[in-house]
Amino acid sequence: MDEYAQADGLDRRRRDRLARLIVETAQKSGLAAEAGVAGTDAPDEALRRIDAWLCDLKDFAVKDGLHVYGRAPDGEADPQRRQSAEAERTALLAALDGRHIKAGPAGAPARGRSDVLPTGRNLFTADPRTMPTPTAYDLGQAAAEEVVRSYMQSHGDWPRSLVIDLWGSASLRTGGEEIAQGLALMGCRPQWDAATGRVTGIEVLPPAALGRPRVDVTWRISGLFRDMFPAQIALIDAAASAVASRDEDDSENPLAAATRAVGKVGPRIFGTSPGTYGAGVEDLLSGGEWGAREEIGRAYLDATSHAYGGADGEAISAPGAFGDRIAEADLLVHTGDDPGRDILEGSADVAFIGGFSAALAALGRNADVIVLDTTDPKKPKPRSVGEAVARVVRARAVNPRFIAGQMRHGPRGASEFAETVDRLVGFAETTHAISGALIEAVHDAYLGDADVRAFLLRESPAAAKVIAERFLSARRRGLWHPLRNSIDDDLAALIAEAQAGGVAA
């Protein structure tokens, strides 16, 4: 691409030849499809899309190894981060001795919270009565407008109904940006007390101020959010009731239209039953004992069995009600705000995004599944789940720098490889939106490389076995069709070697 840019305007024949080579290479590697290049695109448009995709990959932060507790990275220039390492060691020993640990605020330094440094203190969180904060509302509103703009660009119409994943941990980090996203989509704004900063109510903005129709928002809350933020549940419920009672045209207010049709305000906040956590599909995904992904979808719907609302955010059993809301949804919005992790790290993203996608299949419905990247809150970026996973695979998972960094950490690094493969195949199984080329790329990087394969068997035969089994699962379920006929035999051989190293069958 750099050579093409240099040739552009200087040597037309060289430029055109480079353009063909770039597009052909991108097509062969699968990058063209991931960049959204269509077969009918003119060369200039194809190059523009490929360049934009590569720039997006370039902006991805790739971790070089893992954080070691109580140890500052070599060459760390920030004195507060260096102090954090010593403070963490001192605080851990003090806690084990039963001594007092100095209190300090919780938050994400990556989002400007320098007051949380140095770490190693007994954390306290934000006052939930101030959430969403005015700043969080402004950022959440900008992210919400980017979601509807992107949907309009793709579909030529405004979204009428959507589902938002709402997590407690993210709300703590951002001050309630995800709450603000949903309120802004509904056309609502919190009211704050000027003296205390606490939220005192909801203002429903007039349609003219929005410049678009309201969106009927359904919230799928996590167990942690349910436990920590009953006041925010009450706030969201009050906003839904206020919007539902508005005398506005059906085209401007789909929630009010639905309310008039059934004669009452239906629930818009859902989660698992009190005292339970997760998406309800984790055991199915980890065990692999399922046939069609519709089984996962039904488990996700069954687990989301309660509606929440009222002044105290109380739970009411509402079997089937969440499925009705998904059946009406145009899209799911799943926000990622933490630059320190991506959607192939940890099982929760696969469970919630995959559960929703599988539920759509179980209901015979289609909807967009959007991963909203707010790691830079000033530049929110909605991506399809396929685009989001492809970005992580190309920028991090198969990156030689990432692989070399993990190999410095022995068994722990091997488990990072296993986790990446497990999440990638999990997304493929539940969403059917993951290209086989991505699975192939990760396979070649981890098992096709003799040094990495030997590292896995030496440092963690259990991780090697898990990786081979997950790739075989992708093969068995028709999610990956490698060109090499020996793949199955190679994976079986790896499992046998891992078992010979002492791993149980």
Condensed to tens digits (0 to 9), the pLDDT of residues 260-274 reads 999 999 999 999 999
pLDDT at position 15: 76
pLDDT at 25 over 80: yes
Confidence category of residue 109, pLDDT binned at 50, 70, 90: confident
Confidence category of residue 407, pLDDT binned at 50, 70, 90: very high
Condensed to tens digits (0 to 9), the pLDDT of residues 40-61 reads 788 788 888 888 888 888 888 8
Mean predicted confidence (pLDDT) in 299-323: 96
pLDDT at 388 over 70: yes
Residue 175 contacts by C-beta under 8 Å, 6 or more apart in sequence? 126, 130, 131, 132, 133, 135, 136
pLDDT at position 462: 96
Mean predicted confidence (pLDDT) in 206-233: 96
246 close to 259: Cβ distance less than 8 angstroms: no
Tokens of 367: 């909807």
Beta strands in 86-207 (DSSP E): 103-105, 122-124, 161-166, 188-192, 199-204
Confidence category of residue 354, pLDDT binned at 50, 70, 90: very high
d(CA 252, CA 260): 14
Condensed to tens digits (0 to 9), the pLDDT of residues 152-177 reads 999 999 999 999 999 999 998 899 99
pLDDT at 453 over 80: yes
Identify the residue with better confidence: 60 or 501.
60
Parallel, antiparallel or unpaired: strands 216-221 and 314-317: unpaired
Mean predicted confidence (pLDDT) in 482-505: 88
Mean predicted confidence (pLDDT) in 326-349: 94
Condensed to tens digits (0 to 9), the pLDDT of residues 431-444 reads 999 999 999 999 99
Identify the residue with better confidence: 30 or 323.
323
| DSSP result, 403-418 | HHHHHTTHHHHHHHHH
154 close to 330: Cβ distance less than 8 angstroms: no
**Any bridge partners for residue 164, and if so which?**
219, 333
pLDDT at position 231: 95
Confidence category of residue 505, pLDDT binned at 50, 70, 90: low
Angle (CA) 105-169-110 rounded to 5° is 60
Confidence category of residue 422, pLDDT binned at 50, 70, 90: very high
What is the reported pTM?
0.92
Tokens of 11: 């040597």
pLDDT at 76 over 90: no
Q: What percent of the chain has pLDDT over 90?
A: 74
What's the mean per-residue pLDDT of the chain?
Answer: 93
pLDDT at 22 over 90: no
Sign of the dihedral through C-alpha 223, 227, 232, 235: positive
**Residue 115 DSSP code:** G
